[in-house]
């Protein structure tokens, strides 16, 4: 078991590691060559230009201004200057609410830490029970600061119970206040938003098949009948899996063509060439520009045929549609009511914002969703128990004394002072961190297989799985397996009736392991987050070997967004540890406080300068945060109840029975009071917004605003590219250019898929060597077409 000396070694290693990371970050961030790695958010927003443009050769790579090295720590106060309102404007509402979780942790644990350290430490230390049990159990100096050191049947347990009530009351008060603030902020944010497509749009799934009608006709007739005054239009969704693959291949070819054209422009005396064999390593040598132009021509022809196949084949249209309404009120009524007598048909929900749509999963048949969820649930259950094996191994490292008693031949190596301190104070937390490294990726893949259609929902479901995993394996698993290893000799040589007492005494002793984990993950781990070593290396490798155009550089610079599937469960684990051990082993609380303060500073900097949020869910994850902190409260109360029962505290233990019941009542009240603000849109608010908009913008054309809002991003990007390059306008004649443009003719895509002889004005396929085929035809007044692809 880790001693105070081992904890000191671990703290020293992690503090030095964190300091080295922070120092490296402070120096790397001011180098011009790294500017796009540490300030990508400002490049994306257009608020920053590369500092390398106006410098000499050396100055493009290294900062030669000595004064900036003297103020290299100015990022810390700079990260605190931006107000919450400015963060919402700059980085989005989700980012601001995410930061509030860290401030909530500080508000909760700072007063709790002061009271617990001042009151409980003297109560625990003065009992001295573990002094008499040291021959039976493996104990350390830190354990003498915990509730384990209080003798059975002691009147001192009334102090622990009283503080458990006090801490629960304080946590519930802070949770209520924060839930109220976030809910009010959300309503204000929604009320202040400008017109957005998702405010008028509903996603309808499981559209029934009607014989003799296309899905588009079925949707159109249903909503004209049931929402005659507010229904505006809809977008049918097509399965374009093969087309998406061709589009990705074309983008790669276009990138190579751009690179070779740029190369030829810089050196006009020499045309670039390449070999046509495997990976360009063998075969005859040809002109690279002509080669890629021909490859793009051939691929464009295939894409034109594939697109026609998708539109003409009624089997490619999916029983899903984005249905748009002319008012927010009409959309709110549809999204929040049952549409059909059969509750499994015409399932309506608010459409995610266009950036938030996970297009692949729209192609999943609705009937398979329940099966997918069942299979994934069983897989997650199996994964949790599979990970018990490495967790048990990690705990064996943390509890060497227990192994020494069973395997004395390991004693010569283990007893080396530095080896022992390293193994018990640092290695267990590091090993657990390594075992958890790939888990978020695996859980995200599982969530995608489940079939959720919004990226935000995918991340929330992955976060939920990760939280359950952390709860079962990292917390409960570490306690159970750790206690078994720790008291292995005691378990072997005592009667079965004494095992519950041994576990009851030993649970608080796991605080030493969690302290080492907090220092590795919450101190050094957070410092590594701001260093961004992995993105730094990847950016420079891409810049050296892959980047050929400005488009490539932008992709290499892409910072992504806050990893909610990983950070939220980790945060909730820290809340769990702090709440559980506040009464049991309060010495852990200062380590928790350091984590929340340091992480708040780091993530504030990252959100302002680095991360570019992919979507805006308007704080939809907050109810989950609230619920899991409540779950942490219940776990702490039940564990304390079980712990006191092993201490034979018959007089004081019954006083705790009412606490979980009161906590559940509080949770139910908050759920009914605040959660509807995150799940539903009030009709009163919708009507007020519609009335205001009609009075201020009487000539507003909602149909034009929503026309292409939910067009698949693949087709949207191609259309914009064509408009920029060949200036094609809809409903006009095709452009003729003998040198680079050829015209293809084909029947127009009918607005009714199953009625091919009723067509609209003939479309034209405009071909351009540097862009894919483009459809030009008058849109049907209520039908739009979007595309998706099957995973």
Q: Record the tokens describing residue 534, joined without a space.
A: 């992995």
Distance, first Cα to last Cα, the chain: 49
Q: For position 588, what pLDDT does the model report?
A: 92
Q: For position 697, what pLDDT does the model report?
A: 86
pLDDT greater than 90 at residue 426: no
User: Which residue did the predictor score with more confidence, 314 or 377?
Assistant: 377
- Among the listed ranges 44-58, 263-277, 629-643, which one has the minimum average pLDDT value? 44-58
Tens of pLDDT, residue by residue over 642-666, are: 888 777 766 777 888 899 999 999 9
The pTM (predicted TM-score) of the whole model is: 0.80
3-state secondary structure of 350: strand
Tens of pLDDT, residue by residue over 702-723, are: 888 888 888 766 555 444 443 3
Q: Measured between alpha carbons, how far is 503 from 482 in angstroms, rounded to an integer?
A: 10
User: Which residue did the predictor score with more confidence, 244 or 339?
Assistant: 339
Q: Measured between alpha carbons, how far is 512 from 588 in angstroms, rounded to an integer?
A: 8
- Residues 185 and 97: beta-carbon distance below 8 Å: yes
Per-residue CA distances from 737 to 719, 741, 768 (Å): 19, 5, 9
Q: Are strands 231-239 and 742-744 parallel, antiparallel or unpaired?
A: unpaired
Q: What is the 3-state secondary structure (H, E, C) of 450-503?
A: HCCCEHHHHHHHHHHHHHHHHHHHHHHHHHHHHHHHHCHHHHHHCCHHHHHHHH
Of 365, 546, 384, 539, give the one whose Cα is nearest residue 470: 384
- Going by pLDDT thresholds of 50, 70 and 90, the confidence category of residue 396 is low
Q: Measured between alpha carbons, how far is 592 from 47 in angstroms, rounded to an integer?
A: 36
Tens of pLDDT, residue by residue over 489-516, are: 555 555 665 554 555 555 676 788 888 8
Helices (H) and strands (E) in the chain, counts: 37, 10
Q: Measured between alpha carbons, how far is 358 from 455 in angstroms, rounded to an integer?
A: 6
Per-residue CA distances from 449 to 264, 461, 464, 595 (Å): 45, 11, 15, 34
Q: Measured between alpha carbons, how far is 297 from 257 in angstroms, rounded to an integer?
A: 12
User: Which residue did the predictor score with more confidence, 391 or 16?
Assistant: 16
3-state secondary structure of 587: helix
pLDDT greater than 60 at residue 457: yes
User: Which residue did the predictor score with more confidence, 727 or 490?
Assistant: 490
Which residue do the tokens 């089997």 mark? 315
Q: What is the 3-state secondary structure (H, E, C) of 47-108?
A: CCCCCCCCCCCHHHCCCCCHHHHHCCCCHHHHHHHCCHHHHHHHHCHHHHHHHHHHHHHHHH
- Among the listed ranges 258-272, 440-454, 573-587, 735-749, which one has the minimum average pLDDT value? 735-749
CA atoms within a 13 Å half-sphere pointing along the CA-CB vector of 30: 18
Stretch 474-478: mean pLDDT: 79
Helix (H) or strand (E) holding 603, with range, is helix 589-609
Stretch 680-690: mean pLDDT: 91
Give the contacts of 207 (CB within 8 A, at least 6 positions apart). Answer: 215, 218, 219, 319, 320, 321, 345, 346
Q: Record the tokens describing residue 269, joined without a space.
A: 């005396």
Burial letters 492-522, b for 16+ CB under 10 A, else e: eeeeeeeeeebbbbbbbbbbbbbbbbbbbbb
- Going by pLDDT thresholds of 50, 70 and 90, the confidence category of residue 270 is confident
CA atoms within a 13 Å half-sphere pointing along the CA-CB vector of 536: 17
Stretch 133-140: mean pLDDT: 49
Q: Which phi and psi angles does 177 have, rounded to 5°?
A: -60, -40
* Mean pLDDT over the full length of the chain: 79
Kindly tell me the burial class for residue 607, based on how many C-beta atoms sit within 10 Å of its own C-beta (0-12, 13-18, 19 or more): buried
Q: Measured between alpha carbons, how far is 377 from 373 in angstroms, rounded to an integer?
A: 6
- Residues 611 and 560: beta-carbon distance below 8 Å: yes
């Amino acid at each position: 078991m880790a001693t105070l000396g081992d904890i000191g070694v671990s703290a020293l290693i992690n503090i030095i590691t964190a300091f080295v990371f922070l120092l490296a970050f402070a120096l790397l961030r001011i180098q011009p060559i790294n500017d796009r790695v540490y300030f990508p958010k400002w490049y994306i927003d257009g608020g920053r230009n590369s500092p390398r443009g106006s410098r000499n050769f050396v100055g493009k790579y290294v900062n030669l201004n000595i004064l900036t090295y003297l103020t290299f720590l100015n990022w810390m106060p700079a990260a605190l200057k931006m107000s919450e309102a400015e963060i919402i404007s700059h980085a989005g509402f989700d980012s601001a609410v995410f930061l509030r979780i860290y401030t909530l942790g500080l508000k909760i644990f700072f007063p709790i830490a002061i009271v617990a350290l001042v009151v409980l430490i003297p109560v625990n230390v003065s009992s001295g029970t573990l002094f008499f049990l040291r021959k039976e159990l493996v104990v350390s100096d830190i354990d003498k600061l915990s509730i384990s050191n209080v003798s059975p049947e002691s009147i001192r347990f009334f102090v622990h119970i009283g503080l458990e009530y006090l801490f629960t009351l304080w946590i519930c008060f802070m949770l209520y206040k924060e839930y109220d603030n976030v809910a009010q902020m959300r309503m204000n944010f929604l009320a202040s938003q400008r017109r957005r497509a998702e405010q008028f749009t509903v996603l309808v799934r499981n559209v029934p098949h009607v014989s003799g009608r296309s899905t588009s006709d079925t949707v159109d007739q249903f909503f004209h009948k049931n929402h005659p005054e507010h229904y505006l239009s809809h977008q049918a969704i097509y399965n374009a899996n093969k087309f998406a693959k061709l589009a990705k291949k074309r983008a790669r070819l276009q990138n190579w063509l751009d690179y070779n054209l740029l190369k030829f422009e810089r050196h006009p005396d020499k045309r670039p060439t390449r070999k046509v064999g495997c990976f360009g390593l063998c075969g005859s040598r040809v002109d690279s520009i002509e080669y890629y132009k021909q490859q793009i021509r051939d691929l464009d022809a295939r894409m034109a045929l594939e697109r026609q196949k998708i539109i003409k084949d009624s089997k490619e249209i999916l029983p899903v549609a984005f249905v748009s309404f002319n008012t927010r009120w009409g959309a709110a009524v549809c999204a929040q009511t049952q549409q059909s007598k059969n509750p499994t048909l015409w399932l309506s929900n608010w459409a995610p914002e266009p950036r938030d749509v996970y297009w692949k999963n729209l192609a999943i048949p609705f009937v398979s969703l329940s099966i997918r969820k069942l299979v994934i649930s069983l897989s997650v259950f199996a994964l949790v128990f599979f990970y018990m094996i490495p967790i048990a191994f990690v705990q064996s490292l943390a509890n060497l004394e227990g192994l020494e008693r069973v395997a004395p031949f390991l004693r010569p190596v283990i007893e080396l002072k530095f080896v022992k301190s390293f193994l018990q104070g640092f290695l267990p937390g590091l090993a657990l961190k390594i075992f958890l490294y790939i888990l978020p990726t695996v859980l995200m893949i599982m969530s995608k297989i489940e079939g959720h259609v919004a990226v935000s929902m995918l991340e929330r479901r992955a976060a939920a799985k990760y939280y359950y995993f952390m709860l079962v394996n990292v917390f409960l698993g570490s306690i159970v397996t750790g206690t078994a290893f720790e008291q292995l000799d005691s378990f072997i040589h005592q009667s079965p009736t004494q095992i519950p007492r041994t576990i009851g005494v030993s649970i608080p002793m796991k605080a030493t392991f969690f302290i080492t984990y907090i220092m590795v993950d919450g101190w050094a781990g957070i410092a590594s987050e701001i260093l961004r070593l992995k993105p730094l290396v990847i950016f420079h490798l891409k810049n050296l070997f892959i980047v050929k155009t400005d488009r490539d550089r932008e992709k290499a610079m892409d910072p992504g967004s806050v990893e909610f599937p990983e950070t939220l469960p980790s945060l909730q684990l820290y809340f769990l540890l702090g709440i559980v051990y506040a009464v049991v082993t309060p010495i852990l609380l200062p380590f928790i406080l350091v984590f929340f303060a340091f992480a708040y500073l780091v993530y504030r900097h990252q959100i302002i300068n680095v991360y570019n949020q992919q979507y805006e869910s308007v704080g939809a994850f907050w109810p989950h945060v609230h619920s899991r902190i409540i779950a942490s409260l219940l776990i702490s109360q039940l564990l304390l109840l079980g712990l006191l029962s092993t201490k034979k505290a018959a007089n004081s233990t019954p006083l705790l029975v009412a606490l979980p019941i009161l906590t559940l009542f509080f949770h139910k009240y908050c759920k009914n009071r605040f959660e509807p603000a995150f799940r539903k849109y009030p009709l009163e608010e919708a009507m007020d917004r519609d009335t205001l908009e009609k009075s201020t913008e009487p000539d507003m054309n909602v149909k034009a605003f929503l026309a292409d809002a939910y067009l698949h991003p693949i087709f949207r990007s191609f259309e914009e590219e064509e408009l920029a390059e060949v200036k094609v306008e809809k409903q006009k004649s095709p452009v003729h250019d003998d040198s680079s443009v050829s015209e293809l003719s084909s029947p127009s895509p009918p607005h009714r898929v199953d009625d091919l002889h009723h067509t609209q004005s003939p479309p034209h396929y405009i071909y351009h060597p540097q862009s894919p085929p483009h459809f030009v035809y008058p849109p049907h007044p209520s039908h739009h077409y979007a595309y998706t692809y099957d995973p």
